[in-house]
Structure 1
């Protein structure tokens, strides 16, 4: 998905679409509709508006599309934990193993019929992001324990 389609889908998939999202991000609903309309060449989202829309909707598709278009992988940073312990690291390691197993299962499923389609590739990519996020969370928890 390209960034233009991601912006359109982010706004239109939000409950109530531009009518309910516009006021929450400080843009009139009609102007917001025009800004995300792929056929409109006179209105455009600013980076600040795109970031605000992503934050309000909790929808990372615009950021993911931008990263993908430039050849980057987007991995969600782990939430900060205030207290770290051996048990919290062990818990996250178990989560990493689960994510790794799900990634392997998606690769297996994609190859099982001897053909790979784009939907299967998307599922593998999503599972891979979960593995990378889990690795980042293990690192974050260990960092929290560092003296």
Structure 2
């Protein structure tokens, strides 16, 4: 997902959509809809507005899309209270799950004997999601270090 699509999804998936989110951002719903409309060439979210929308909606899709476009992945820094043995076990289970999702996406990509760019992008998305989980495990372990 690119940042334009991520911003559009963030606004429209927010409970109540633009009508509910816009006042929290200090603008009208119509202006917000225009700013996240992928077909609108004249109105865009500013960086500060994108950050505020991400924070208010507690939705990191714009940040994650930007990171993916830059070849990076976001790693959440855990709170000390989240750093425990059970959190590590939970994260390991999530790692096995995301590892399997990478494999499934690769199998789907190779099924017809052709590899298309959108298929590669889907594989890369699964790989980034898996890498995030692995880096989160490392961050949690680091938080447990004495």
TM over 0.5: yes
**Measured at CA, do residues 58 and 136 of structure 1 come closer, stay the same or move farther in structure 2, by a change above 3 Å?**
same
Where do 5+ consecutive residues of structure 2 fail to align?
A: none
Residues in 2 aligned to 1:44 and 1:145: alpha-carbon distance in whole angstroms: 42
Please identify the structure whose Cα radius of gyration is greater.
1
Deviation at 1:132, TM superposition (A): 0.9
Deviation at 1:142, TM superposition (A): 1.7
What is aligned with 1:98?
A: 97
What is aligned with 2:33?
A: 33
Residues in 1 aligned to 2:82 and 2:8: alpha-carbon distance in whole angstroms: 40
Residues in 1 aligned to 2:13 and 2:83: alpha-carbon distance in whole angstroms: 38
| TM-score normalized with structure 1 length | 0.73
What is aligned with 1:63?
A: 63
Please report the RMSD computed on the Cα atoms of aligned residues, expressed in angstroms: 2.9
**Measured at CA, do residues 72 and 82 of structure 1 come closer, stay the same or move farther in structure 2, by a change above 3 Å?**
same
Residues in 2 aligned to 1:127 and 1:96: alpha-carbon distance in whole angstroms: 11
Deviation at 1:111, TM superposition (A): 0.9
What is aligned with 2:132?
A: 133
Residues in 2 aligned to 1:99 and 1:140: alpha-carbon distance in whole angstroms: 17
**Measured at CA, do residues 45 and 89 of structure 1 come closer, stay the same or move farther in structure 2, by a change above 3 Å?**
closer
Where do 5+ consecutive residues of structure 1 fail to align?
A: none
